[in-house]
Amino acid sequence: MSTELAWAATAAQIGGEVLRRFFGKVPNVDEKARNDFVSTADRESEAAICAYLARMTPQCAFLGEEGGRLGTQQRCWVVDPLDGTTNFVRGFPHFAVSVALMEGAEVLVGAVYDPMRDELFTAARGLGAFRNGTRVRVSRHGTLEGSFLTTGFPFRMGKVLPIYLAIFSEVFPHAAAIRRPGAASLDLAHIACGIFDGFFEFFLSPWDLAAGVLLVREAAGVVTNLDGGEDLWTQGNVVAGNPQVHAALLTVVQRHTSEAALAKARRSEHD
């Protein structure tokens, strides 16, 4: 597994170097959907990562946020070439590259690279999680009271905003602070490092999640869907944290919604 992890780490750093070159300039930006942007930097980062991984691992498929899936092999690289595009195009230096190797629903290795801080978060299944080579683990904060939380707004799904706000309103009085930095892969990496105690967000994609989920789990944390299950890929609804805060946060979330309820809302949004 060490070879695959080295490939993931190098690929993430290759993408990060592309992003550093573009940051602070005015890239060509398109709006894929309302408030959902893609830039020249996204595309060039993904192209560079894809070219490297195709050269090193022709036996694997590739799934990128911008270009979709290439290949039908069971093992597949799942890549977000720029997680936090809105931050990036507005000059806010908080974004990352996420690279993971999956086999079916299992994440084998993952790397999240923060190019502005030169921080590389890596994990391989069963081998622990690391930040710049130093082993990390989730926080030991034991309750929702006084916890440091992170989240993301469901801007793609306006119909679930009241559900999200109800959860937020219940959690807010108990937390020491809640942040919305704008890059889910880094939120999860920072959970793994013990910076944040808990995280929740709806309707994420596999490329947002794959590497970060492995980081949290390998750092002794817990990541589930809203029903407490392992399937994160069908709907992309996530609750994560150290075991105690995850359990408390999941209880709050379940008072207001479920996987079935959000799936219904998602279908109605597209009708």
Domain extents in the chain? 2-136, 148-270
Q: Where are the alpha helices (DSSP H) in the chain?
A: 2-22, 40-56, 85-89, 161-171, 184-192, 206-218, 243-256, 259-270
Of the pLDDT bands very low, low, confident and very high (cuts 50, 70, 90), residue 157 is low
CB 77 within 8 A of CB 210: no
pLDDT tens digits for 24-50? 885 566 555 454 455 788 899 999 999
CATH number for the segment(s) 148-270:
3.40.190.80
Question: What are the φ and ψ backbone dihedral angles of 61, each rounded to 5 degrees?
Answer: -80, 175
Q: Which two tokens stand for residue 12?
A: 């993430």
pTM reported for the whole predicted model: 0.93
* Cα 98 from Cα 231, distance rounded (Å): 19
pLDDT score of 66:
82
Mean pLDDT of 51-56: 98
Would you say residue 163 has pLDDT above 50? Answer: yes
Backbone angles phi, psi at 131, to 5 degrees: -120, 115
Which CATH class name applies to 2-136? alpha beta
Q: What is the pLDDT of residue 91?
A: 92
- What percentage of the chain has pLDDT greater than the value 90? 83
Going by pLDDT thresholds of 50, 70 and 90, the confidence category of residue 159 is confident
Q: Measured in whole angstroms, how far is the alpha carbon of residue 146 from the centre of its chain?
A: 24
Q: Are 142 and 22 within 8 A, CB to CB?
A: no
11 pLDDT more than 90: yes
